[in-house]
Chains A and B, each alone.
Chain A
Amino acid sequence: MFGRYKPLWGKTPRLKSSYDAVIIGGGLHGLATAYFLARDHGITDVAVLEKRYIGFGGAGRNTAIVRANQRTQENVPFYKEALELWPMLTKELDYNLMFFNCGNLNLMHSEAAMNAARMSIATAQFHGIESHLIDAKQCKELVPALNISEDITYPIFGAMYHPPGGIVRHDAVVWGLAKGASKHGVHIHQQTAVTGIGVENSKIVSVDTDHGKINTPRVLLSAGGYSAAISYEMLGVTLPISVLTIQAMVTQPLKPILNHVVSSGTYHAYAQQTLKGEIATGAHMDPWPNYTTQTTAYYIKHQAEALAEMLPCLRGVKFMRHWAGLADMTPDMAPIMDGNDPIEGYYMDCGWGYFGFKSCAATGKYLAQFMASGNCPDMLKPFNLRRFEQHRLMGETAALMDYSPDN
């Protein structure tokens, strides 16, 4: 029925001495960009360099939630397109990415929060994206396990209900994109670390790796949490990024109990039930910069406290696995997608924080366009690096952030 088992992303290729483009990082963004470069722009002579194995970083550590209910008009259409790409990619890659279009409930615990949600909802509706403000009773109808009583720490006032969102099997996206990219001729080099980036006359000329030197006119930096360090150490380009640990965990598997993604900014907790039946749950990043992927006792306990109130039936469920990844946060919680500035041929795709998963497909598409043409597509222009020196932060978050070292 399944024929012979062949390597999904081809046999391990030999590292060539030159490529048309080199992508640093075998995560979702790197693989997606490689895929679209090859598919849409005929640039197939591409090397994806991955220090560990593909999907090692954020790609395999996120909680697989997808949605397009961002706050600003610069972001909303971008995430909308990303959302629409899941079924298309499933078909194109011939790999089931298991998009479960269950919808997201973003709980609100005060009148002020309901008003803030309304702004996002109006923004979504203005862009033709479905999103509604619903009250606590409607929340309970959608998620019967929810506690809508008044006597909890943060009683639920209502929610932003966003039906187009859901969950996608994150590992499948990594493997599917790797499969698609390699089919078009992209070389995926695992266990290959970048050790330096060569620049001459402000132009990218080469990339050094622990397996040899590669001549190339284009480099994409998409190394997730490690991007800022690579950018600074290898090119001297400082990025306004704070790296923080972000943690998540799953419970033992259960028969279906949560039919929607449930999240609460106030409780600092979200939960979704994976197709395997585990409740995957996480929250905000740790509030201090940290390059480790170590978990903390405080976090799992906090998560239990939040879930025990929001979804009290889960008190009878057991946590099973707790892990951590890195979130690369910019001051405005929006990413940096930029290129040819300050170095020609140097493209950046980083600062995604915890939005990297849901955005990967759209990012790949537009970055590939950028790298192929050298011209920044309109969709990416708001995400330039210079906005920080011009004090023009994006409005993805209303509240003041307190993770940067100066706060």
Chain B
Amino acid sequence: MNRLSQLPTLRINPAQKISLNYKRKTYQGIGGDTIATALYANGIRIFSRSLKYHRPRGLYSLDGECSNTRMEINGIPNVCTENTLLKNGMTIKAQNVIGTAENDLMGFMDRLDWAMPAGFYYRTMHKPAPIWPIALKQVRKAAGLGKISPDFQMNGKYEEIYPKADVCVIGGGPAGMSAALTAAKQGLRVILLESRPWLGGFFDYRAAEYSNGIHLFERARELAKTVSETPNIRGFIHTAMVGAYNNNLITAFQVGGESDHFDERYIEIRADSVVVATGCIERPLLFENNERPGVMQISCAHRLARTYGLLPGEKAVFSIGHDLGLEAALDLSNLGLKISYVADIREDGQDPGLVADLAKKKIRFLRGWVAILAHGDKSVKKVTLSTIQGTHHRDVDCDLLVASAGMTPLTGPLTLAQAQLAYDNHTGCFLPKKLPVKMHAAGRLMGLNDPLSIEASGNLAGLMAAADCGATVEADLKQTRERLNDLPGPVRGCKLVQAPVKGRKSFICFDEDTTIKNVEQALEMGFDATELVKRFTAAGTGPGQWGIPGHNLPLFVAQYLEDSTVSARPTTVRSPLVPAFIATYAGRNHDMCKRTPAHDSQKSSGGIMRRSGVWKRARYFSRDSGCREEIENVRNNVGMFDASTLGKFRIWGPDALKALQRVYAGNMSKISDGKVKYAAMCNDDGCIIDDGVVVKRGENDYYFTTSTGRAGNTVEWFRYHTRYDGWDFHMINLTDAFGVINLAGPNARKVLEKVADTDVSNEAFPFIGYREFTINNEIPVRALRLGFVGELSYELHVPSSYMQSLWGLVAEAGKQFDIQNFGLEAQNVLRMEKGHVIIGSESEQRTTLHDVGLRFLWDRNKTQAKTVGAVALKQTEKQEGRLTLAGFKMENPSHTPKDGSIIVDSSIRGYVCIARFSFVLKESIGLALVDSPLAKEGTRLQIYEDECKGQHLYGTVVPTPFYDPEGKRLRM
């Protein structure tokens, strides 16, 4: 196809040849082509088949309002070929076809539409019941448009940026550029988003006069140049705005150009004020076969010629309802398109100059006429025109039917931000009625049409945005308002919704093959709200979203319900306004996990690191899954464990003790100097949420630990529960600031002695003791003598920056005893043998301090009132029928029940929290939460494992700790 190569409006580069593969053939496109324009240039007219009826579909708009031209590109489904730039070597496939788009074996479906009325699937295929599973398979196969392979790999680079702006302008047309320039003139930082690869919008391709002999496209380029020369405007082209959220958070995605280091990037903008100047798309004309290839919208035909140098057809008929149609007809006629008729829905109100020019060109002009039927099986061959009353008809041969009923303002960015729309009787459009604060609208989406008005409204919006940012612009505002008032306002719009047809093949939504008739059926069935019609007929839920049915659907519903004031509203528009890749949203997809300061040391010692909450932790070091070596080494020798993930806090100030008393169940006034206090926190239901230790480092100055999982919530927990008290205390989360080594085993002291600068003998540093000393004359250590794993052990807390060094020193000192690392699994078994609980493992959300056997951590006589959970602890103290923690021993030690097995009789009576074979005790032991009567010592538990097929296991409740019940080893 020859291109019009001399037009000043072109955005193509004929010198650059680009090849593409389609239907096993290689075709040529040129630089600047989109995939669709390249295919069109190569004579391709049918791009896909429709969802239900497999109707041929072609180029209809150029901004992706429908799925007609969605195709599979390089394995990626549903690519909008209308605005995706052609790249060399692309492989293109038509979607939803068996065979080719031209010859689709499923084409016969179009004749079966009578069998598929609105929502037919709800009323069929379920009788008799056995046919449904079979039908279901067919439904699944028939549904869906594109295909993706489960092995598909999306290549390319996906970026994300989070710029901040004073003003964000959405839409780089004349109104948007004017707004951006006006706001920028006030010294504000402006971001301008434009979805096409160039600025210019509605002026970019039009040759009509702007003023004083300047053409619109020249004006567009002039504005674009000024914008690009304004340093405080950051313009993003080829960037589609997709979301508007609370407080002017705007999201968009940008398609990378050749020089960019990304393929697509996610942009999230926080702006003080937003201007929306997104213009209009066209409202489709509803008539029979209104989506036949060869039928297209005004701007599609016009831009094909003016932007891409492609005459859209040879013999054309226009059926339009807007002066833009007349302008396009004249311009295209000048460019060589033969136009036999221009049928204008409007009886009057046209620009007389345009009408006179049509006459000069000998194009027959029909007022009050409209297309009612496009003939031709696969593309338009002929059109039947009719008076809008349907009284007179005329058939006209053509291969191009330019059809459009009117305008649809692109109000999506506004309604996403909760703007209200109202039907405007003058323009026949739904226009923004109430705008959100710090959000302004300009240009065509306000119903404007005159170039000067469009720009003036942009200036006005720019000033209002500047005012939002604190600029002093009162005088300018007043002046601009006056200027806008003197300019032409919105033009009267065409109200026609549908041509005089029955509507069996008049498509209100192309993507879902929803016809006028389907909508009528839905309405008859009682689906009388636009939203219900949408859900029932699926209109507007396809890949083109609401582009095609957006305003026709509510207008049609209003017309059907004889609602002359049009109280119906377009269905809620959802983000993303333009479908966006999951890859783009995912961006760089950081894994934000935390590593302890001993991470590398552990990894190099063979630690298997696993994600555990926000941390990566060493799960085990042994080769055997039971971690026998690690466990026995701690029991008989000495091991070291990285406990850096423990929550660590300092709380200080005059009321620190009061705060501690509030959240801890125990009496925190009884913390002796140099001693550690074990303590627990409950919630208002008395349920245990945390345990840890508290030490007093000075007057009104405490250091305490929490479980790993609670580290993030603890400060807020304190603050929340003291929020009305006005207490004077400070808290700081030291979790990341300190690393912790747990040095445990009978030889632990021998290792510590070698490095500590102080006496750590049993007398000097006894069990439950707290000491502060240095190691190697330098490293400040807070040492806690605890026994979570049931052996002599020291928790050494050091500033994170010293952690690597200390880890190395301890490992070195321990070498002579053959010190070993141990990981989470070994710790888990060791502490279980000792009967110690881990919150979340032996407790559920509903487990109280009583249930878990830690009642001794509650001081019921505490004088400080209002301990969190104390009321519930009292009330539940003697409550029956609760799940209680019990230790048990298996009758047959060779079969240890799996964790999560349940305790049953005729019903479920509890479950196994943890069970292991104890290498030390040579028994299978475990902890279970069971109905309280079963927790009595000596009760026989019947254990039901998954997949046990009725084969139960048996255990007996025994007292805990299983290991060293007297606690001698802790005090060694």
Contact = CB atoms under 8 A, between A and B. Distances in A.
Interface of A: 1-2, 4-10, 53, 55-56, 60, 72-73, 87, 90-91, 94-96, 98-101, 109-112, 114-123, 125-126, 132-133, 144-145, 153-155, 169, 171-172, 175-176, 251-257, 275-277, 294-297, 300-301, 303-305, 307-309, 312-323, 331-332, 390-395, 397-402, 406-407
A2 B266 contact: no
Given A96-B132, A332-B845, A391-B875, A122 B946 contact: yes
Given A96-B124, A96-B132, A121 B946 contact: yes
25 contacts: A8-B527, A94-B127, A96-B121, A119-B900, A119-B911, A122-B945, A176-B122, A252-B70, A252-B78, A253-B51, A253-B542, A253-B543, A276-B144, A276-B541, A297-B245, A301-B585, A301-B587, A316-B582, A321-B574, A322-B574, A323-B574, A390-B876, A400-B689, A400-B845, A407-B717
A332 B846 contact: yes
B147 interface: yes
B582 A314 contact: yes
Contact of B418 (A101, A294, A332, A402): A294
A304 B126 contact: no
Contacts of A252: 70, 77-78, 145-146, 543, 579
Contact of A317 (B125, B581, B901, B902): B581
A392 to B, nearest CB: 7
A252 B902 CA distance: 43
Contacts of A323: 572, 574
Given A296-B246, A316-B148, 15 more contacts: A95-B122, A122-B901, A122-B944, A123-B908, A256-B141, A277-B140, A277-B143, A297-B268, A301-B586, A304-B585, A304-B587, A305-B586, A318-B579, A392-B882, A393-B846
10 cross-chain pairs, A with B, having the tightest CB-CB distances, nearest first? A277-B144, A118-B900, A304-B585, A7-B526, A115-B899, A5-B524, A318-B579, A119-B900, A393-B846, A315-B583
A253 B144 contact: yes
Contacts of A395: 844-846, 883
A280 to B, nearest CB: 12
A145 B78 CA distance: 18
A300 B899 contact: no
A296 B150 CA distance: 29
A33 B666 CA distance: 48
A223 B875 CA distance: 33
B141 A297 contact: no
A94 B848 CA distance: 49
A398 B844 contact: yes
A319 B136 contact: no
Contacts of A276: 143-144, 538, 541
A402 B713 contact: yes
B898 A118 contact: yes
Given A296-B245, A399-B840, A116 B900 contact: yes
Interface in B95-151: 114-115, 117, 120-127, 129, 132-133, 136, 139-141, 143-151
Nearest to B904: A126
Contacts of B526: 7-10
A1 B907 contact: no
B333 interface: no
Contacts of B879: 390-392
B865 interface: no
A253 B593 contact: no
Nearest to B883: A395
A90 B136 CA distance: 14
A153 B611 contact: yes
B892 to A, nearest CB: 19
B313 interface: no
A327 B841 CA distance: 28
Given A2-B120, A175-B122, A391-B872, A145 B77 contact: no
A110 B902 contact: no
Given A73-B908, A96-B132, A401 B525 contact: no
B560 to A, nearest CB: 13
Central interface residue in B589, B687, B846, B944, by most chain A CB within 10 Å: B846
B536 interface: yes
Contacts of A53: 529, 531-532
A146 B769 CA distance: 51
B685 A318 contact: no
Contacts of A126: 902, 904, 908, 944
A95 B243 CA distance: 37
Contacts of B117: 2, 5
Given A316-B154, A321-B541, A398-B845, A153 B713 contact: no
B908 A254 contact: no
A275 B136 contact: yes
A317 B132 contact: no
A279 B581 CA distance: 13
B720 interface: yes
Contact of B524 (A7, A10, A109, A125): A7
A277 B245 contact: no
B966 to A, nearest CB: 31
Contacts of A315: 154, 581-583, 586
A297 B139 contact: no
B76 A304 contact: no
Given A1-B115, A297-B249, A319-B579, A254 B122 contact: no
B393 interface: no
A8 B144 contact: no
A253 B545 CA distance: 11
Contacts of B582: 251, 304, 307-308, 314-319
A391 B687 CA distance: 9
B643 to A, nearest CB: 18
Contacts of A406: 683-684, 720-721
B491 interface: no
Contact of B151 (A254, A313, A390): A313
A222 B536 CA distance: 24
A100 B139 CA distance: 11
A317 B576 CA distance: 13
B348 interface: no
Nearest to A389: B875
Given A118-B900, A171-B536, A318-B581, A254 B907 contact: no
A175 B77 CA distance: 33
A126 B572 CA distance: 46
B148 A254 contact: yes
A56 B132 CA distance: 28
Nearest to B949: A125
A299 B478 CA distance: 41
A6 B525 contact: yes
B591 A153 contact: yes
A110 B612 contact: yes
B105 to A, nearest CB: 16
Contacts of A8: 525-527
Contacts of B122: 95-96, 98, 169, 172, 175-176
Nearest to A1: B115
Contact of B145 (A1, A94, A169, A254): A254
Contacts of B83: none
Interface string B87-98: 000000000000
A154 B141 CA distance: 32
Given A95-B122, A275-B136, A323-B574, A391 B908 contact: no
B115 A112 contact: no
Contacts of B529: 53
B575 interface: yes
A171 B114 CA distance: 23
A101 B134 CA distance: 12
A132 B948 CA distance: 11
Nearest to A321: B574
Nearest to A116: B900
B153 interface: yes
A313 B150 contact: yes
Nearest to A191: B529
A297 B266 CA distance: 11
